[in-house]
Structure 1
Amino acid sequence: MKPVFPQDLASWLDHLEQLHSQEIDLGLERVHQVAQRLALPLRSEQRQAQVIMLAGTNGKGSTLTLTQALAQAAGCRTASYTSPHFLHFNERIQLDGQPVSDALIIDAFVQIEQARLAPTPISLSYFEFATLAALVIFSASDADLWLLEVGLGGRLDAVNLVDTDLAIITTVDLDHQAFLGETREAIGAEKAGILRPGRPVVLGSRVMPHSVLQQAEQLGCPVYQLGRQFEHQTAPDTLTWQWQSKQPQSCRWDALPISPLPLDNLASALQLAALSGWQLDQQQIAEVIRTTQLTGRMQRLGPWLLDVAHNPHAAHYLAQRLSQAQPVRRLALLGAMADKDLEGVLEPLLPWISAWVVTALPTPRACSAAELAAQVEQLGGQVLYLGEEASGEAVHRFLVAELESGRYDEVLVFGSFFTVAQQLHWLSGSTEQVSCATA
């Protein structure tokens, strides 16, 4: 009997969520078998497009978005794959910076499902299915550049099916220890699994675990590290910054505009552009920096500030940015996963928060509002409201009322992609159900 496939994207996504017994199931064997059945161009010699793969604890999304914008400014046609999404699955798969259509995704899903089922069925996770869909769509496109963001770790992530021509590891810090290991060295080794023999790697942090450098040396990868082969420096007036690189050739850009996005990530994107040989002038680079924005990364919508910071490294950066802003009466909304280092996330932010609201999230992986409230209060924070409903609607109404009362000037939303997506959903007036953070 011929299989009956879903007719719309929402039904397909429901189908994907039921396919596999585990939400996160690292390993390449199953997904590689399906990729082979689809005859996807996984090796460099099988495709015309350049591939840049991005791994790291934090900074992947902003570095990818900036790199994409630089490539487009240089005249490249781009294809990008990121995860998770905020409001629409299509955000994950983009051509020339625009989400692809439902029809294109559904067509890719049909091809994958046919390949998955025959000759013998192979189980795929939601993320594996989504990754294959991106590769199917990119393979049929005329893109010059594929930008692929690793979902979790690197070595065993489905994105690592593809041989990369140029890799970047943005940062390595403690997160997802249950899957990646308990130390920075162990996590670094997992992320370094995306490296390929002789292919360049950009390291977007001044401090990298020895395991990353060791893997690069063993594979003969040319290394371009922040603080060594390239550098950035803020001007004394703090209104501009400069970037310079020693390799692949000496290059320097002065008086670049300040961005809400981290300078380390801006500098890393410029190094990727230099290694790719894109021809860009000062005006083009400055325009990219001025205009590039990223959902959920220091994103300001009126009195709302949204940031997906969900581990200590990201929380320290967020606290640094808050310390540089004008003092305000700031209300924080926190929703977080149960496996996070909550104390490590909360401690750097406590001095910059006047009061707290905590919320449940629509996933079994999340902390309850009561657990979050207990943690905040244990560290000395004042909790005004516990949102127990998964939709976040009551929490949103409470936050709006607090802003309208004049008691608070700003609401900081952070702790998880889910938390940010939940509030974006209500801020946008969307009627669609929030399901953004399914990996």
Structure 2
Amino acid sequence: MHPHAMPETLDQWLEHLEALHPVGIDLGLERVAQVAERMGLISSSVSTTATSPVPSSIAPRVITVAGTNGKGSTLAMIEAVAAEHGLRVGSYTSPHLLRYNERVRLDGQEADDALLCRGFEAVERARLQAPAISLTYFEAGTLCAFWCLATAELDLAVLEVGLGGRLDAVNIVDADVAIVTTIALDHANFLGTDLAQIGREKAGIFRAGKPAVLGSQALPGSVTEEALRLNAPCYALGEAFSRSDVSEDGWAWQGQDGHQAPLSLSALPDPGLPLDNAATALQALSLAGVALDAAKTRQALSKVMLAGRMQWLGQWCVDVGHNPHAATYLATRLPDAPEGGQWWGLLGMLNDKDADGVIAPLVARIPHWVCVSLDGERGRSAEELAARITRLGGTVHHCAASPEAGATWLAPRLATHDRVLATGSFFTVAALLAMPLPASA
């Protein structure tokens, strides 16, 4: 490809990438690792040359986060606490809600279009060197993100693994500290329904001799087995580190540093995100060599916010939860509606998700429902969701063709003290975040 034929805008690049590789998800690391080596992002024993020294990694310290739920909130808290301690932090997450730029954050700011375009150009030049290599949209995006992180002179990079773990493109970079947050059923058509096998896949981000942080007390044994096999020091929630529940005085964390010396922090504020994830974030940071200061940690946790995770916008709470584990957590965290008000649910889901498993814990808290259709090959109709909600004991008042149409229908029916939970998919939440959400008249 002639340089002048390259796309010029971010939107053009994303369209180009979607057209390049016919399969959306093509698990395997060989292709993406070859292009990364050509870009100088990772070193290979055969590809380093004296004229172009290859960095050992994209940052002096790398924390990688895998798991079914809790990855985004764990990463957000690692980023916030590290930044409060004066570290220059970069992160890579997926998917995005409104703008592709959300996926790459550098020192607290989303990467701008110009930087991402330069990154995609670097990926394309490397990809097209003979022999040319095909990359999926996600793989090209991951390499672009790594290029952005590598050029930003960071102290710490925090990486969220997309689908799976072992064969995810993010796993071409060796983590100094690797986290598995939770293991639950999700993406069954790619990862299967065997929790032990899913655990092994997620644990594929562990590295020999490097700390592995286990962020749930309900992980399958296969995760610990993989850490032991690699001789990776294992730090498990409930064993090496723990946290108290929130009380009037906040909550407390106990953990260890890299030499297994005990650490503790108290009077921590509720971050509005799962405390298991907060405790995991603190343990990972201490293992990455950050000497946690109580005041700075409190400051970071008091202001951390994650779009689309129990995010309140007036009467609306939007949450991207799309599997039973996430829905159960949501159901336990929803406050009661104010006196004289009631809860409504707005639900839109993809067809590869366990809809009954999501609906069951939520209908126990939310009596009134609006169902919305999501388009695309993975879409699911509002009518199908409505039948499931009705069968599980909820009352469906309306089926809408889109999340926007569902919110518009609900607007004139909301009383002042009513509350709405909008959930079920990133697509549902993204559509609502892109519009002004209606409030009661």
The TM-score, its normalising length taken from structure 2, stands at 0.92
- Aligned partner of 1:240 in structure 2 is 250
1:362 and 1:103 map into 2 onto residues whose CA distance is 31
- Aligned partner of 2:367 in structure 1 is 354
- Aligned partner of 1:387 in structure 2 is 400
- Asked if residue 378 in structure 1 is aligned to residue 391 in structure 2, the reply is yes
2:112 and 2:225 map into 1 onto residues whose CA distance is 42
For the residue of structure 1 that corresponds to 2:300, the secondary structure is helix
Superposed structure 1 runs of 4+ greater than 4 Å apart: 323-328
Q: Could you give the per-residue CA deviations for residues 71-102 of structure 1, whole angstroms, max 9, x where no partner exists? A: 11111111100000011000001101210110
How far the C-alpha of 1:299 sits from its partner, in A, is: 0.6
How far the C-alpha of 1:47 sits from its partner, in A, is: 5.6
1:29 and 1:276 map into 2 onto residues whose CA distance is 28
- Aligned partner of 1:286 in structure 2 is 298
Q: Which amino acid aligns with 2:38?
A: R
- Aligned partner of 1:338 in structure 2 is 351
Change (3 A) 1:382 1:408: farther
- Aligned partner of 2:212 in structure 1 is 201
Q: Which region of structure 1 is more displaced relative to structure 2, 265-274 or 3-12? A: 3-12
Matching residue within 98, 101, 108 for 1:87: 98
Matching residue within 157, 161, 167 for 1:156: 167
- Aligned partner of 2:434 in structure 1 is 425
Matching residue within 41, 47, 56 for 1:45: 56
- Aligned partner of 1:434 in structure 2 is none
How far the C-alpha of 1:428 sits from its partner, in A, is: 7.5
How far the C-alpha of 1:179 sits from its partner, in A, is: 1.1
1:407 and 1:287 map into 2 onto residues whose CA distance is 33
1:11 and 1:39 map into 2 onto residues whose CA distance is 25
How far the C-alpha of 1:42 sits from its partner, in A, is: 5.5
How far the C-alpha of 1:10 sits from its partner, in A, is: 1.1
How far the C-alpha of 1:165 sits from its partner, in A, is: 0.8
How far the C-alpha of 1:181 sits from its partner, in A, is: 2.0
- Aligned partner of 2:283 in structure 1 is 271
1:54 and 1:267 map into 2 onto residues whose CA distance is 14
Q: Which amino acid aligns with 2:16?
A: H
Q: Which region of structure 1 is more displaced relative to structure 2, 162-171 or 379-388? A: 379-388
For the residue of structure 1 that corresponds to 2:394, the secondary structure is coil
- Aligned partner of 1:16 in structure 2 is 17
Matching residue within 50, 60, 63 for 2:71: 60
1:46 and 1:255 map into 2 onto residues whose CA distance is 36
Conserved 8 A contact 2:337-2:419 = no
Q: Which amino acid aligns with 1:22?
A: V
Q: Could you give the per-residue CA deviations for residues 244-301 of structure 1, whole angstroms, max 9, x where no partner exists? A: 1245321111111122101101111111121122233221111111100100111101
1:334 and 1:208 map into 2 onto residues whose CA distance is 28
1:348 and 1:317 map into 2 onto residues whose CA distance is 9
- Aligned partner of 2:232 in structure 1 is 221
RMSD of Structure 2 on Structure 1 (CA): 1.9
Q: Which region of structure 1 is more displaced relative to structure 2, 394-403 or 345-354? A: 394-403
1:158 and 1:76 map into 2 onto residues whose CA distance is 26
Percent of aligned positions with the same letter in both sequences? 48
Q: Could you give the per-residue CA deviations for residues 286-334 of structure 1, whole angstroms, max 9, x where no partner exists? A: 1111100100111101101011111011111001102677674111111
Q: Which amino acid aligns with 2:114?
A: A
- Aligned partner of 1:437 in structure 2 is none
For the residue of structure 1 that corresponds to 2:65, the secondary structure is strand
- Aligned partner of 1:115 in structure 2 is 126
Conserved 8 A contact 1:73-1:280 = no
How far the C-alpha of 1:175 sits from its partner, in A, is: 1.0
- Asked if residue 365 in structure 1 is aligned to residue 378 in structure 2, the reply is yes
- Asked if residue 307 in structure 1 is aligned to residue 314 in structure 2, the reply is no
Q: Could you give the per-residue CA deviations for residues 167-209 of structure 1, whole angstroms, max 9, x where no partner exists? A: 0000111111221121210100000110110000110001221
For the residue of structure 2 that corresponds to 1:352, the secondary structure is coil
Q: Which region of structure 1 is more displaced relative to structure 2, 72-81 or 18-27? A: 18-27
- Aligned partner of 1:192 in structure 2 is 203
1:118 and 1:214 map into 2 onto residues whose CA distance is 40
Q: Which amino acid aligns with 1:360?
A: S
How far the C-alpha of 1:45 sits from its partner, in A, is: 3.5
Matching residue within 169, 173, 192 for 2:184: 173
The TM-score, its normalising length taken from structure 1, stands at 0.92
1:242 and 1:166 map into 2 onto residues whose CA distance is 23
Change (3 A) 1:221 1:78: same
Q: Which amino acid aligns with 2:273?
A: L
For the residue of structure 1 that corresponds to 2:434, the secondary structure is helix
How far the C-alpha of 1:46 sits from its partner, in A, is: 4.9
Q: Which amino acid aligns with 2:186?
A: D
1:112 and 1:298 map into 2 onto residues whose CA distance is 35
Q: Which region of structure 1 is more displaced relative to structure 2, 366-375 or 208-217? A: 366-375
2:417 and 2:370 map into 1 onto residues whose CA distance is 12
Q: Which amino acid aligns with 1:137?
A: C
- Asked if residue 317 in structure 1 is aligned to residue 329 in structure 2, the reply is yes
* Structure 1 gaps, min length 5: 430-439
Conserved 8 A contact 1:155-1:190 = yes
* Structure 2 gaps, min length 5: 45-54
Q: Could you give the per-residue CA deviations for residues 407-428 of structure 1, whole angstroms, max 9, x where no partner exists? A: 8611111101111101001128
For the residue of structure 2 that corresponds to 1:347, the secondary structure is helix
How far the C-alpha of 1:120 sits from its partner, in A, is: 2.8
Q: Which amino acid aligns with 2:196?
A: E
2:124 and 2:58 map into 1 onto residues whose CA distance is 23
Matching residue within 78, 101, 106 for 2:89: 78
Conserved 8 A contact 1:309-1:415 = yes
Change (3 A) 1:18 1:32: same
- Aligned partner of 1:411 in structure 2 is 420
